[in-house]
Amino acid sequence: MTKEDAMTKQQLMNELEQLRDQVLQFKKLEKELMTTEQVLRCAEEQWRRLFEDAQHGILVLDAETGQVKEANPHFLAMLGYSKGEVIGKNLFDLDCFIDVEKNKAAFKELKVKGHCHLDNVPLETRTGLRLDIEIDSKVCAVTDNKIIHCNFHDNTERNSNEREIRLIATHDSLTGLPNRILFLDRAHIAVLHAQRRKKMVALVSLDLDKFSSVNETLGNDLGNKLLKAVAERFTGLLRKSDTIARVGGDEFAMVLPELEHMEDVIKIADKLVDAFRQQFMVNGRRVIVTISAGVAVYPADGKDPETLLNCADKLMYNVRSQGSNSYKMSQMITP
């Protein structure tokens, strides 16, 4: 073998070795690519399962147009839609969105800020049921496109339970009127407003005369119905800004805010006492129950609700000791 042949052979062997290295590299890259594809498929499957099995509604929207690209089963079931009725539609063309203008404003804010949170958004199902929905939305970049990922949480039951708890805590279970807690809260607010606006507030303490004898002679059931009728009569006599509360068994109290003159207080007190000189019809029985009332006025009789109510209570007990069926104010002689 000549020297030139030996050099050619060595060169071919080197090139063959390089090819072998390249083949190995290609095989390695192929294996890595397969692994990457497997990871991507696995991640896609995991995302799909999270999307499909999520226990809250999910919508995927086009960030520019608001067009629905994806909707998960929980969203569809929650509102009663089929997938074909949602995909490809503009979000605000869906009948479930009641306050369209407010939601369009939120969509504009989302496009500017990239995220948006809304509480108690009213949505309506296909059957007409009203839902309280919490919506979290975020703009996300996917390849060269932008999408909006929206999470819908149904808080209807939770909100209903919270409202019921607040109602129990602040209202009388028999009459539905505010209780002492809510009464004092509204009285406090009324006094604060009166301080700023230089007006008067009247707190009225009311007691049903000889109500115990009604229970004794006619029974508790009729007595309870009478209390409900009393509450309705009180409510019908007052302005929308006034508050009537049941603060004890047969004890009631009122907040009368935004009063200009003492004559206004006297007119209301006269009207209350006169209204209860008229009979009630309860279970076919005619029942007459009158009231004794004490009226305390801010700022003359006190500067806070507790002081005013204490003054009104004393005036009311004074009326009862003198024969009942009337009212008394510290600013005037009882009529």
Q: Which residues are catalytic?
A: 250
134 has which bridge partners?
A: 153
CB atoms within 10 A of CB 228: 14
Provide the angle, in degrees to the nearest 10, between the axes of the packed helices 305-321 and 180-197: 110
- Measuring CA to CA, which residue among 236, 202, 213, 179 is closest to residue 327? 202
* Token code pair at residue 13: 């062997």
Give, for 25, the enclosing helix (H) or strand (E). Answer: helix 3-53
Task: Identify the helix (H) or strand (E) that includes residue 108.
Answer: helix 100-113
Q: Which two tokens stand for residue 312?
A: 């009104």
The helix (run of H) or strand (run of E) holding residue 280 is strand 280-282
Distance CA 311, CA 204 (A): 9
What's the CA gap between 19 and 22, in Å, rounded? Answer: 5
- Rounded distance, CA 112 to CA 137, Å? 12
Strands 291-298 and 326-329: parallel
Tokens linked to 81: 């839609």
Q: What CA–CA distance (Å, rounded) separates 217 from 201?
A: 38
Q: How far is Cα 173 from Cα 182, in angstroms, rounded to an integer?
A: 13
Q: What span, in angstroms and rounded, lies between the C-alpha atoms of 326 and 315? A: 11
295 DSSP β-pair partners? 204, 329
Phi, psi of 53 (to 5 degrees): -95, 0
For residue 169, what are its two tokens? Answer: 């805590």
